[in-house]
Amino acid sequence: MDKNEVKSKKISTSELWAKLFRSASVERYLAGSVDMQELPLFSEYNSMLAEERNEKAEAVIRRGEIESSFGHKLFSGTRNPSRDTVLQLAFGFELNADETQQLLKVARATALHPRVKRDAVIAYCLQYHRTFMETQQLLYDNHLPLIGGKNDRS
Amino acid sequence: MTDRDELLQSILDSDSSADYPAEFQEKYVLMECLSEQKGITTFLVQDPEGKNHIAKCYERNLWTIADNSSLLDGLDHKGLPKYTESFENENVLITVREYIEGLPLDRYAQENELSVKEITRICARICDILAYLHHRDEPIIHRDIKPQNIIIGPDGSVSLIDFDIARVYRSGHDTDTVFFGTLAYAPPEQYGFAQTDARTDIYSLGILLRWLLTGSTKENKNVKTYRPLDKIIRKCTGFAPKDRFADVSQVKKALFSANPRSQAVRLTCVILCAALAIGAVCYGGVRLYRYLTWSPFTEDAVPAFTSDADRVEDAVSYMKEKYGTTMFDETEDTATVGDLRAVLTELYGFDREYVYGINEDMPQENNAYFLPWGWDEGQTVDRDIAVYAAVKAHDPAMVADWSSLKDDNGYYPGVRVAVAFAEEHGIMNGANHPGDIPLGELAVIFANTDRVFEAAETEE
């Protein structure tokens, strides 16, 4: 298959969604009303994830390339994360795309959206377990803003 | 190439924003999809300098939306996001505005326990922003006031976002035909009953205030709200627009009055004023009582003796010591008019003509002479006349009533006043004969009267 053939093979948002996520449609996922009061605290959810996956906070923080003391504050609940920091944690936990959506939801951050190319690249990297550094390289190569860039909202 | 590689290539080659104007795509990178509903997609976008903005993309096939960029461009208020620019093609209209740092109020309220004071502060700030919008030459009605559209900045600043449905109020249009807004916060007229105006936003503001105070947009009688604010909520959310506050500045004023601190200040003022009023009434009452009852005369000016003989002896010696007179020595002798006139002229220094003169005209009801009666020198003196003379020697004004209301004894009111005064102050203690009196009792009357007047206090 040459490059032109690949390019001509346009992929729709819903197709892309279907390939990256188990949820049936982006609309269903995004429209799902979330009662924020029912969501666990982000720090509790992190600890629960770590326990479930038999991970140490240090390892998660290191893999997500999060500054150490800041990372521990996220686990203790003394700091609220920005969306990009949540994504770094997802790489740290080695979550897949669906699990990352749930983590974003718990963090009250917006979901990864296939219409946003940067989000789609990140979702792809999570789904196929690329490392955080590999993901950053991919974003960089394609002129997309890096995760945790200087204008990261916090 | 594996399936994975193909998928990645598809992602990188995909162009989900192909429908958007090329200039927009060249300038901005999509960072997050914040919401997507009914043909309106809101993105967080980043400009080439890495600065965040909000882009709202309206699909033209779903919405007939006028380009309100000129409207947004004309707005300049610290509580409103600054308009950046807009783009359009046959598919979409995109408006780009400043990204405002902070948390939406719904999340801010969940993460912070808001005090009544903080709630009134936030609502007052919203009033300021709405006043800016409503008071423009062409008033702008926001029509979607809800917690999600209010951003609380890290410094506590309050901003109002989302002008999707805001539009210029055009008077003369009877009803709005399309429902905009958020059900829970929308007033009845927004369902199409009538044209919306500034009172539409006031209704939503009332619902917002209720939500902040009770956690619910619906009235719940079981939840007690801070009473002054409850009144504001009711006034904001009247069914008919005419029952609501007419202007958002009135809401702000009411909020300030309802602020717990204002209430506390008001309560303190009321208590202080009440205390001052009570104090003033009490003080005034005491002053009035003292004014009405004040008497310069002290109660114990006249010395206490157990027998009349002692009183007479004391009085004679008092007069002798004070005036150097021996005229009272014969205490048992009956006092005469001549004795009385001698006392007045020699001891008290009154003018002889004044004391001895007799008004020949009848009736002798005037003050031309000391004694108005034309008595002979040898005539005896009644006790009441002696008292009258003694008091008049000190205070003529007190006994100056010469009206013709004579008593049974033929005395004028001035005499009765003198006798009443003498009885009150014990001047007649020791002068027990109501009729003719001896010299000793005349001494008692004059001595006691002297003492009473000498002991009198000066007026306050």
How far does the CA of residue B23 sit from the closest CA of chain A (Å)?
Answer: 17
For B373-430, what is each residue's pLDDT tens digit? Answer: 667 888 888 888 899 999 999 988 888 776 666 666 667 778 888 888 888 888 888 7
The reported pTM is: 0.61
A2 touching B (Cβ < 8 Å): no
- A 10 A CB-CB count for B320 gives 16
Using the 8-state DSSP alphabet, how is residue B438 labeled? B
- Residue from A8, A124, A126, A141 to probe the interface with B (highest B Cβ count within 10 Å): A124
Cα(B28)–Cα(B30) distance, rounded to whole angstroms?
Answer: 6
Domain count of the fold of chain B:
4
Examine the domain organization and report whether B117 and B250 are in the same domain.
Answer: yes
B4 vs A120, A128, A151: nearest CB:
A128
For B267-324, what is each residue's pLDDT tens digit? Answer: 788 889 899 999 999 888 888 887 777 777 777 778 887 788 888 999 999 999 999 9
Look at residue A81 and tell me if it is in a domain: yes
A30 vs B8, B13, B36: nearest CB:
B36
Examine the domain organization and report whether B107 and B222 are in the same domain.
Answer: yes
- Residue from A108, A135, A146, A147 to probe the interface with B (highest B Cβ count within 10 Å): A108
Q: Which of B381, B370, B374, B397 is nearest to B445 (CA)?
A: B381
Examine the domain organization and report whether B172 and B277 are in the same domain.
Answer: no
How far does the CA of residue A109 sit from the closest CA of chain B (Å)?
Answer: 9
| Cα–chain center distance at B163 | 42
pLDDT of residue B192: 57
A16/B10 touch (CB, cutoff 8 Å), yes or no: yes
Closest residue on chain A to B48 (Cα): A145
- A 10 A CB-CB count for B406 gives 14
The SS3 of residue B213 is helix
Domain span at A123:
11-29+39-141
- Residue from B11, B101, B106 to probe the interface with A (highest A Cβ count within 10 Å): B11
How far does the CA of residue A44 sit from the closest CA of chain B (Å)?
Answer: 15
Examine the domain organization and report whether B321 and B419 are in the same domain.
Answer: yes
B33 vs A19, A37, A110: nearest CB:
A110
A117 vs B11, B37, B110: nearest CB:
B11
Domain span at B93:
13-98
Tell me the pairing of strands B158-160 and B140-141: unpaired
- ipTM value > 0.90: no
Look at residue B381 and tell me if it is in a domain: yes
Domain count of the fold of chain A:
1
Look at residue A22 and tell me if it is in a domain: yes
For B16-54, what is each residue's pLDDT tens digit? Answer: 677 889 999 999 999 999 988 777 889 999 999 989 999
A145/B29 touch (CB, cutoff 8 Å), yes or no: yes
Cα(B160)–Cα(B136) distance, rounded to whole angstroms?
Answer: 16
Examine the domain organization and report whether B75 and B147 are in the same domain.
Answer: no
Residue that wins the pLDDT comparison between B256 and A111: A111
B31 vs A7, A31, A116: nearest CB:
A116
Q: Which of B12, B67, B54 is nearest to A143 (CA)?
A: B12
Look up residue B154 and give its two tokens.
């890290």
pLDDT of residue B124: 92
Closest residue on chain B to A29 (Cα): B36
Q: Which of B150, B143, B131 is nearest to B168 (CA)?
A: B143
Residues of chain A with pLDDT under 50: 1-8, 25, 31-33, 151-154
Examine the domain organization and report whether B274 and B139 are in the same domain.
Answer: no
How far does the CA of residue A14 sit from the closest CA of chain B (Å)?
Answer: 11
